[in-house]
Structure 1
Amino acid sequence: MKNSYSLTNNNYNQSSFNLSNITKSNKDLEIKNVSLKNATQTHFQICPNIFHAQLTAYVPYPEISKMSETQVQNLLKKNRIIIHGKSIPRPITNFEYCHLPPRMIDNLKNLGYFQPTSIQMQVIPTSLVGRDILANAQTGSGKTVAFLIPIIIHTWSLSQFNGNDGKGGPYALIIAPTRELCIQIEDQTKKLIKGLINMKTALLIGGFPIPNQVYRLEQGVQIVIATPGRFIDIINNYPKLNINNIHMVVIDEVDMMFKVGFMNQVTEILEKTTIFSLASGYRQQILMFSATIPESVEKLANSILKDYIRISIGNQIDDINSNLINENSEGKNSLPNIPIKQTILWVENKSKKKQLFSLLNDPKYYSPPIIIFVESKMGADLLSKAIEKKCNTVTLSLHSDKSQEERNQILQSFINGEIEILVATEIISRGLNLPNVNMIINFDMASSVSEYVHQVGRANNRGWAITFINEDSKNLFKEFVTLLKAQPSGRVTPLPSKLLNHGFTLSGNTKSR
């Protein structure tokens, strides 16, 4: 192992740390005398029981440390950053301020990130000091890169500490609910770590042979991206695999991951990855993200996260009672700010196809690429065939009954512009970056208001979402109207009178659908 190593540009020595200050014995690891220069100006403490945070030893740039409290508050307000917690690190305004290697800065630019987005400004320094995080921000805000940057920095620190042979990991685990989202996260990870020595990933998802994935793990990786089910299958059936050094766990789309069916898997994963080969006293760092975080999810997160920072990007709204809203310590509530035009149409079931064909055959509305969300897999297949016949346009369906290879091919063809219309179930409603999508049509209303936010979030910021609604979704009316009325002026076209005046809208009935 080399005597010293710095994650930073050599032109800025203030943030460098010396590995000669860190000793390793046969039984444990002990951190000694890690230098934190200008510590009195940092306004936070690096978590003493988070080993990798001590190792990375993040120190803010002087430009950040010297800001007055008023300047910090103005910066937060300008970027709609809402934070709660104790000893919160200050946001960064430049990627170089978090001491990234020059190659990683170049990789970010190649991905189109020249300055940090709002969520990245706060999540990156907060994670670098080792704090647990519960964060929400709208789709397309850069959440994935927000957690990948500190994950990569920390895992690189650990890899260097353990001899730089790539065999000590994995050090970080990222779990997400769908194969497609995992594939996208790994793709972004690979682009960010390009050119960094001994930084490798493993993708553990269904639809691909388990032996190949196990072999990848055995060869040594630093970051694992997985669906919960496949990760559990592998660690249960291959107990000799090393999962004792997973210092960081990211739970993406946490609102879905805490639902029945996923929650037990998430709990099992956290239980099986918290025993480190480190000295007692150190613990995991856990980061949770989504576009929407209901109050029920926040309560569960409270039982898992330790001394965490709550980060929200969006508008604040007072005194609204909704399952979608999260009360914070100041008695205010936050609602998702959906940055696209939204139109709600009251359409009876028997008229939905006729209404859809009318939209798709009207140049005023037809703006491909288009995603049409439906409730069932059979419905997706039947509707895609009907659209192709009636509208004479290339249309395919996407759902979980298709093989992973077929799903990948369809999604890639859609991204490449070879398919104009994609009819899909909720399988692609979360997390996927589809920047060219111009229109979302919710042929079937989403199963929850939270899911609606994710579905319309597939469109780009200049996009348009049209939703068919009727009596079938009455249990969502109160919550749905609350969300729509909270959007900025002009963002939502006038709502149907049948929706506004419905008894379930006025009574506040919000039973699950």
Structure 2
Amino acid sequence: MLRDRLLDLGLCISNTCAMSSPKRKRDDDNQIQFTDDDYVPYVPVRERRAEKYRKLATVLRKPVEREDSEPDSDQDAPRAGPQSNVALIDQAAELKKKEKPKSEVEKELELEKQILQAQTQKKALFSAQELAKDVHYTEPLKTSWRPPRHIREMSSAQLDEIRQKWHILVEGNDIPPPIKSFKEMRLPDAIVRHLKEKGITKPTPIQVQGLPTVLSGRDMIGIAFTGSGKTLVFTLPLVMLALEAEVKLPFVPGEGPVGMILCPSRELARQTYDVAMGMCQALERHGNFPSLRVLLCMGGISMAEQADALRKGPHILVATPGRLQDMLEKGKINLAGCRYLCMDEADRMIDLGFEDDVRNIMSYFKGQRQTLLFSATMPKKIQNFAKSALVQPVVVNVGRAGAANLDVIQEVEYVKQEAKIVYLLECLQKTPPPVLIFAENKNDVDDIHEYLLLKGVDCVAIHGGKDQAEREYAIKAFKESKADVLVATDVASKGLDFAQIQHVINYDMPKEIEDYVHRIGRTGRSGKTGVATTFINRNSSEQILLDLKYLLKEAKQRVPPVLEALEDPNEKFRKPGGDIVEGLDVDCTFCGGLGHRITNCPKLEAQRRQQMSSHRSMHAGAGAGEY
């Protein structure tokens, strides 16, 4: 029974299929017969897919036929471009053929821009928290200081005339006006009297524009030759800020500082501390103002000597990065209320060796701060980086960044290596004491010191290998004229002020032209003239000698024949015309040297070698720890 029903059901299905297919015929026994028309050839899947894509491409290439009833908004509908059937690689190759071929000079300039951009992407002046939260400050800090009315009402042309007269170059928005006297800067009489006692009766060019800028609360990049009075520009406004804070609400234990100054060396920190202390004592002595506490935080000294200032809360902090980090980590110093930060010799502070230290210190700030960067040598690498990190900065430039002091007579002499120490005695006869001698390494300093003592010369020596007591004794004896000669490494080359020094001797040429500029800047300070004698020989690098050659030419100094004979591989950049852009800066944008470019900068190469060696040592240590 079930079988009959299934046969009937199959017959019904067959009849239905047969009725729906007109090409199929039935015979007398109701069987379906297939004809030749029923045959369909097999097409592989790959060919069917290719045919489908061809039809789709044909449809896309046809112009779209629009009806009149179609709205006008469809005019912006995306359509295939005129070269939609040409591969992108072929289109790029075709465009490259149409471009004008670049000269070797243009290619090298593009390479320099890429190198400089890679070096200026660091953000050392921001803390890790600010970088993580993407914090951006858009407005500079406000202060209560205002210039006098008659200066505020001066026209832009009058202000530019003053800047031109003092050879001051400025960059930025809403630049504060230059002020030509301390009295018009609205400083307390006690400060003006203190400056007169120090022999400072009128401001220098960097002070004419720099002091109003800092007193206004603006971030600033200060560039001026050595001995131009930069220290006063960032120390005096900080003393005024601390005085205002103390008068409004006296400090209690645990508070402070209101501002701090970072220095790259202990000697420079000590000198800055003495300048700030002198002003604070003058305010208390001559002006009956409250006492201000200045804390010196640096290695080599016992903090117990300053326990009173630390316990009561310092108003001003002068520090070196290493000791400051230690004090911050121990919780002995609080930067929650600090809103003033100055970096003296900023090109060194932001450099590779201090970047991690500076970022770590920044993490202890709790809000926006006024940031100041000062140096005599400020390459474009540091300037571009600082402009991106500061808030609407004002750049005050007195002379080219990295240029030598024009008040120094530079003499370069070729002396054989074995004859240098003997020739020193003859060089000492050029001028009366005091004389400063620079050597590249500690062993040379000790050798020179011992040789001069044997020859009966009163001299002292400092270098990084001596303890702090010895270093401070040497500096004090030299400043007080108890010693005629000071022999030192580059620890004494940056920022130290020796007012009476007349002669600087470079026992050997430094490895970087920036160090040379700082060395010779220890003389010829505050408008006085001085002499700088430099020994060169075959041991000196040719690149540094090229830098020296063009530095002498820039300062209109005599160039010895041994330097004139040097061939310059970058001469093509110095000749205008042809493919070279006229007015091109012929200096290294990384270190400021005039005899080479960033593509062959010895300082950049040294930093790369240092990075590679640190990476190798790190990986070697990690590999050793795995076993």
- Which of 553, 556, 559 in structure 2 is aligned with 1:485? 553
SS of 2:209's equivalent in the other structure is helix
Q: Distance in 2 between matches of 1:172 and 1:82?
A: 27
SS of 2:260's equivalent in the other structure is strand
Shift of 1:92: 0.9
- Give the gaps of 5 or more residues in structure 2: 1-136, 572-594, 604-627
Q: Write out per-residue CA displacement over residues 317-342 of structure 1, whole angstroms, 9 at most, x where no aligned residue.
A: xxxxxxx66xxxxxxxxx44432111
What letter is aligned with 1:83?
A: V
Shift of 1:174: 0.2
Shift of 1:68: 3.0
What letter is aligned with 1:208?
A: I
Q: Do structure 1's residue 350 and structure 2's residue 400 form an aligned pair? A: no
Q: Distance in 2 between matches of 1:415 and 1:211?
A: 26
- Give the gaps of 5 or more residues in structure 1: 1-46, 277-282, 317-323, 326-334
Q: Distance in 2 between matches of 1:110 and 1:203?
A: 24
- Which of 250, 253, 266 in structure 1 is aligned with 2:345? 253
SS of 1:287's equivalent in the other structure is strand
Shift of 1:366: 4.1
Which residue pairs with 2:466 in the alignment? 402
Runs (4 or more) in structure 1 with deviation over 6 Å come to: none
What letter is aligned with 1:369?
A: P
Q: Write out per-residue CA displacement over residues 242-297 of structure 1, whole angstroms, 9 at most, x where no aligned residue.
A: 22111000000111112222222122212322x14xxxxxx110001011101222
Q: Do structure 1's residue 427 and structure 2's residue 517 form an aligned pair? A: no
| Contact 2:226–2:405 (CA under 8 A) maintained in structure 1 | no
Indicate the larger mover: 146-155 or 80-89: 146-155
- Which of 457, 482, 489 in structure 2 is aligned with 1:393? 457
- Which of 496, 500, 510 in structure 1 is aligned with 2:564? 500
Q: Report which of the two structures shows the higher radius of gyration computed on alpha carbons.
A: 2
What letter is aligned with 2:150?
A: E
What letter is aligned with 1:463?
A: G
| RMSD (Å), alpha carbons | 2.2
Which residue pairs with 2:356 in the alignment? 264
SS of 1:441's equivalent in the other structure is strand
SS of 2:363's equivalent in the other structure is helix
Change (3 A) 1:227 1:164: closer
- Which of 167, 173, 182 in structure 2 is aligned with 1:86? 173
Which residue pairs with 1:18 in the alignment? none
Which residue pairs with 1:199 in the alignment? 292
What letter is aligned with 2:389?
A: I
Which residue pairs with 2:441 in the alignment? 376
The structure in which a higher percent of residues are helix is 2
Which residue pairs with 2:68 in the alignment? none
Q: Distance in 1 between matches of 2:194 and 2:309?
A: 24
Which residue pairs with 1:466 in the alignment? 533
SS of 1:272's equivalent in the other structure is coil
Q: Do structure 1's residue 136 and structure 2's residue 223 form an aligned pair? A: yes
Q: Distance in 1 between matches of 2:396 and 2:303?
A: 36
Q: Distance in 1 between matches of 2:372 and 2:253?
A: 24
Q: Distance in 1 between matches of 2:211 and 2:497?
A: 20
Which residue pairs with 2:112 in the alignment? none
Q: Distance in 1 between matches of 2:406 and 2:355?
A: 27
Shift of 1:167: 6.1
- Which of 244, 257, 264 in structure 1 is aligned with 2:336? 244
Which residue pairs with 2:516 in the alignment? 452
Q: Distance in 2 between matches of 1:253 and 1:126?
A: 19
Which residue pairs with 2:244 in the alignment? 157
| Contact 2:546–2:563 (CA under 8 A) maintained in structure 1 | no
Q: Distance in 2 between matches of 1:258 and 1:474?
A: 27
Would you say how many aligned residue pairs link Structure 1 and Structure 2? 431
The structure in which a higher percent of residues are strand is 1
What letter is aligned with 2:489?
A: T
Q: Do structure 1's residue 288 and structure 2's residue 288 form an aligned pair? A: no
Shift of 1:468: 0.9
| Contact 2:140–2:392 (CA under 8 A) maintained in structure 1 | no
Change (3 A) 1:205 1:88: same
| Contact 1:165–1:198 (CA under 8 A) maintained in structure 2 | no
TM-score, normalized by length of structure 2? 0.65
TM-score, normalized by length of structure 1? 0.79
Shift of 1:389: 2.4
Q: Do structure 1's residue 297 and structure 2's residue 390 form an aligned pair? A: no
What letter is aligned with 2:501?
A: V
Q: Distance in 2 between matches of 1:175 and 1:424?
A: 22
Change (3 A) 1:270 1:259: same
Q: Write out per-residue CA displacement over residues 421-457 of structure 1, whole angstroms, 9 at most, x where no aligned residue.
A: 1111001101111011110000011231111111001
Shift of 1:164: 5.6
